[in-house]
Structure 1
Amino acid sequence: MHVNHAEGEAKFWLDPQIAQNIGLSGKALKQAQTLIEEHEYDIRVAWQRHFGS
């Protein structure tokens, strides 16, 4: 999952582990990770619909 922000960008795996960070603060990364965790089921369903199992 890619996260874009005015200050930078990051890439997370759906576990969610950070895969890459370019310029985001620890606080911004934590906020993104929290959102991913809160919406993990919906993200996985959308991913499977788009890319298949």
Structure 2
Amino acid sequence: MPTILRNGPYRFYFYSNERAEPPHVHVQRERFFAKFWLNPVVLASSIRFASHELRAIQRIVEDHRNNFLEVWNEHAGD
């Protein structure tokens, strides 16, 4: 489960065994979790995050989308 980015209290990562799914990133803060699709950036699921926090996280995902896709594609090509 490689960590791609740490931004404030958030850790952005993906699971190496999820390559069969479309590109996405997981986000964690303590016991709060979310998953965002990357093409386009859309919330896939969330546990415990408030909607205002999810909007802020989505902006971070949008800002780092190209980097997330690059790392995803590097791992998917292994």
User: Which TM-score band (shorter chain)?
Assistant: 0.7 to 0.9
Partner Cα separation in structure 2 for residue 45 and residue 31 of structure 1? 22
Uncovered stretches (5+) of structure 1, i.e. residues with no partner: none
- TM superposition score normalised by structure 2: 0.61
* 2:59 equivalent among 6, 9, 34: 34
Q: SS in structure 2 opposite 1:48?
A: helix
Aligned length: 52
Q: SS in structure 2 opposite 1:17?
A: strand
Uncovered stretches (5+) of structure 2, i.e. residues with no partner: 1-24
Higher strand share: 2
**Structure 1 stretches of 4+ moved >6 Å:** none
Q: Which amino acid aligns with 1:9?
A: F
- TM superposition score normalised by structure 1: 0.85
Deviation at 1:6, TM superposition (A): 2.4
What RMSD, in angstroms, separates the aligned Cα atoms of the two structures?
1.2
Higher helix share: 1
Identity, in percent, stands at 31
| Aligned equivalent of 2:72 | 47
